[in-house]
Structure 1
């Protein structure tokens, strides 16, 4: 058995990445420092990785010169890039936009005659098409709404929460379907739709609250019937789309025998902590439902932009944890931002794996970009998670069998000291060192 070991370490503010080829040796009873790989135990199939194509990201990309634009696209979608195949996109405005907007603001237009996605045609859709051109195929898109138009809401504005007025449940369902249809007319491969982004939060930006009963009623009596009328039921519906700590109780409240066939899965974010066990319980109760990570970022209101190692570890720990507890996909938040962490119409600035300095014309790859790549470059769509056990929780580990029958194991060291590892598989050992403040991916070719 041969292993290609791709490893990154971060010392004194600099990242260094190298490859080495390691030949296995016979396992003669190694007990300590082992990570066992168990390919006979299989779990969920991976659908892929991606980033969110917000208006902020698209606008920032349009500010680049042609050479830097291509450098960015190659870094995400090119042959040697992150290998992204998925994307999330907002229905109307979110905080990562140049301002609030809706695709139809005319109260009384029950037939949506004034509906238009012209705003998206300025920056967002050209950005998507450029990415797909480099990728050589269409991206699989998830759509999520942040807020209905102001006239449909109890607070009469896009921001600060509020609720969807009951009299507009039907109109909003038609609006969401119309958005899907318009995107498809523009040759966008819309595969997934969430009912509402962060329905349990009143944000200073675009937001709308649903309790569990309201989300269930809107889904069951309005959104799904509208999708059925418009022949859109092949679009997968996801509930919750919020933090993991309440994902289980929302799932239990929304999914019953009547709604079970309508809901494809549960989308979740990371902002309230790990709560990986919640994913286990959802999977136990609803084994057929997909678990999809749909958003996470390093918020400057809570974390430092300068601490690249901690920020990158946040990605590595959460990706490994989500995958090990059943997630089928991981979609990052803004795929690109400017050096300030915007633009953002309410100054909710945050980090992104790639950031562009408009004044200097410099595109920066953060350490989080490299950490994501240790997963997304090697864990290909169609890969199946396999069983594993590890000798210490100081190393985050996840492992998959790829469609090409190679095994890929990602190991992230959460300490400053080098950590020895014996990868054990089918009577063979591969001796590795995961460096302090480092991450590595072992690609194993079975003989």
Structure 2
């Protein structure tokens, strides 16, 4: 039988329909690729595309991606706007330099990273130019009515920079953490070391909410709080405070939690805000009947233990989220030798595989001397380094780790299933909610190139990732069916 067509009609649509009907995956599809090598010789470089073909590929190293299996929704990636970072950005950059840097970090136009998660310190941290709280009394006497409360210390740098970040990205989520309660609330009567006195649990809770309200009035909404940064550590030369699980449970369960519940408009409470090596600490708070209902998530730091600790805590309390809220780059082992692939592996890839909805590096910016700082770490590194003499910007490993995630994985994306390969190759995959695009992040920590196959939807692409490098792959899952 011969098919006949009216001569005025083109046969191409019919032929295309037949082709799609009988060979829906016969068309190759380009996969966009960006690569950064550990030596930054290739830095977020748009590389030759990979290409999906029908089939399952032949490489021994396989990453099988299943878009139908979806996990946590992503809040975002970013770094902390410490006092030091804010001071450098506000006072060591001129207006054009400042605008350009913040647009690069928080914008999405052009090559912007689109950072959508950040953290502020409530009072001083080690990355402040001096030590202070927001309620330091002239004579050091108690002020339970908080008559001396003030955020004036932050008006010259933190507040204007935070507002500028939000102006560029209004979806930016900002959390906040205290390094210490005011000295008069503690058994040391000092910002340095000590414990929070139980008679001031109520005043400290009001202090935290007073901060939230004061920042909201300045146009900087705080979406989440932790009650103490690193509560299992008492540093000797910068503000800190020991607040163990029973104390946090009482503070949250009897005071701060009910106060926030009565307000009805947040902020959320994240517990722990410390290392992976003591999961019993957040488990202790979540196991407390009074505290548990008020805790939304567990916040983790990277300086002890292994990121896999996040999963047992999440499994025990699956209604509680996880966040990676601090990890610094710097000049120490294994960060020095591990470099970019290590930062990408632990803070971006593995934290997400272990349920993190967001990941934060520590200082957003430091100067050429790793400061300014007032005690604590003198070898920490910012996401960017600002030359305090010229305003010149240097982008660090942490910058590129964030860029490979945040520029392509947008707020509201979901992590999706992807198999692990081993052999120094780590990966995680996401589906963006706005356009359905899929994003695969891969880190190669090996000193040799690694060739792997990625499969999704009955097709596969092969790719060879350079030694000690990270890559982002982006595609739309339906494109091959409509090529």
- Correspondence for 1:374 among 404, 410, 417: 404
Is 1:364 the counterpart of 2:394? The answer is: yes
Query: Counterpart in 2 of 1:281?
Result: 312
Q: Are 1:224 and 1:233, in contact at CA under 8 Å, matched by a contact in 2?
A: no
Query: Which deviates the most, 424-433 or 102-111?
Result: 102-111
How many Å separate the matches in 1 of 2:468 and 2:194?
Answer: 44
Query: Counterpart in 2 of 1:144?
Result: 177
Q: Mark the CA change 1:295 to 1:29 in structure 2 (over 3 Å): closer, same or farther.
A: closer
Is 1:6 the counterpart of 2:34? The answer is: yes
- Poorly superposed stretches of 4+, deviation over 6 Å: none
The structural deviation recorded for 1:381 is 0.9
Q: Mark the CA change 1:393 to 1:276 in structure 2 (over 3 Å): closer, same or farther.
A: farther
The RMSD of aligned alpha carbons is: 1.8
How many Å separate the matches in 1 of 2:173 and 2:67?
Answer: 28
- Correspondence for 1:41 among 41, 50, 69: 69
Q: Are 1:8 and 1:18, in contact at CA under 8 Å, matched by a contact in 2?
A: no
Q: Mind listing any 5+ residue stretches in structure 1 that lack a counterpart?
A: none
How many Å separate the matches in 1 of 2:436 and 2:134?
Answer: 46
The structural deviation recorded for 1:291 is 0.1
Query: Counterpart in 1 of 2:212?
Result: 180
The structural deviation recorded for 1:261 is 1.3
Q: Are 2:361 and 2:398, in contact at CA under 8 Å, matched by a contact in 1?
A: no
How many Å separate the matches in 1 of 2:35 and 2:167?
Answer: 30
The structural deviation recorded for 1:82 is 1.7
Q: Mind listing any 5+ residue stretches in structure 2 that lack a counterpart?
A: 1-28
Query: Which deviates the most, 398-407 or 109-118?
Result: 109-118
Is 1:15 the counterpart of 2:42? The answer is: yes
Query: Counterpart in 2 of 1:198?
Result: 230
Is 1:54 the counterpart of 2:82? The answer is: yes
The TM-score with structure 1 as length reference comes to: 0.93
Deviations 1:340-399 (A, max 9, x none): 111001152211120011124321112331122111111111111111113334111000
Query: Counterpart in 2 of 1:158?
Result: 191
Q: Are 1:51 and 1:335, in contact at CA under 8 Å, matched by a contact in 2?
A: yes
How many Å separate the matches in 2 of 1:21 and 1:293?
Answer: 31
How many Å separate the matches in 2 of 1:358 and 1:29?
Answer: 51
SS of alignment partner, residue 369 of structure 1: helix
The TM-score with structure 2 as length reference comes to: 0.87
How many Å separate the matches in 1 of 2:303 and 2:112?
Answer: 27
The structural deviation recorded for 1:152 is 1.1
Is 1:122 the counterpart of 2:149? The answer is: no
Query: Counterpart in 2 of 1:411?
Result: 442
How many Å separate the matches in 2 of 1:102 and 1:281?
Answer: 35
SS of alignment partner, residue 277 of structure 2: helix
The structural deviation recorded for 1:138 is 5.2
- Correspondence for 2:166 among 111, 123, 132: 132
- Correspondence for 2:355 among 326, 333, 353: 326
SS of alignment partner, residue 113 of structure 2: coil
